[in-house]
């Protein structure tokens, strides 16, 4: 599997109120969206907002395109996105207890890098 390396272009400041014992529900924080990322790029770089939104869209499209080709993506300072093929297997419906076959599928895995793990 080929890995493509990208350098991150956004560095978010660490939020001191978040630690391993807290989760997002306890701190009432919302999920980070593409619009939030585009706004952060806009505030850091200073280009117009439309250009920053397109830049973020292109970034995520590049990741999706490489994953569709079956290639992994590694972003320095963040982690790796890896595709893994899972074999078909026998499973059981927990409600009825009936056995069934779970189809083979491809799943997306994310492995956080060591430097990213150390931040939290």
pLDDT of residue 30: 83
Instruction: Provide CB contacts within 8 A for 2, sequence distance 6+.
Output: 71, 72
User: Per the structure, how many domains does the chain have?
Assistant: 1
Read off the CATH number of the domain in which 66 is found. 4.10.520.10
pLDDT in tens, 55-104: 999 999 999 999 999 888 999 988 999 999 999 999 999 999 999 999 99
How many helices and strands in the chain, by DSSP H and E?
4, 6
pLDDT of residue 28: 57
List, in sequence order, every beta strand (DSSP E) within 33-88: 72-75, 79-86
- pLDDT band (50, 70, 90) for residue 117: confident
85: which strand partners?
A: 106
pLDDT of residue 111: 92
pLDDT of residue 96: 93
| Structural domain range at position 49 | 3-14+23-119
pLDDT in tens, 5-55: 444 444 444 444 444 444 444 555 788 898 899 999 999 988 888 999 999
pTM given for the model: 0.60
């Amino acid at each position: 599997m080929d890995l493509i390396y990208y350098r991150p272009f956004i560095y978010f400041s660490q939020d001191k109120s978040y630690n391993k014992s807290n989760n997002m529900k306890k701190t009432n924080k919302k999920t980070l969206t593409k619009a939030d990322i585009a706004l952060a790029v806009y505030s850091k770089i200073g280009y117009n907002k439309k250009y920053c939104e397109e830049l973020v869209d292109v970034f995520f499209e590049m990741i999706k395109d490489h994953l569709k080709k079956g290639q992994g993506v590694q972003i320095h300072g963040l982690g790796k996105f890896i595709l893994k093929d899972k074999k078909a297997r026998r499973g059981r419906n927990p409600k009825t207890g009936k056995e069934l076959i779970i189809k083979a599928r491809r799943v997306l895995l994310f492995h956080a890098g060591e430097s990213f793990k150390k931040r939290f």
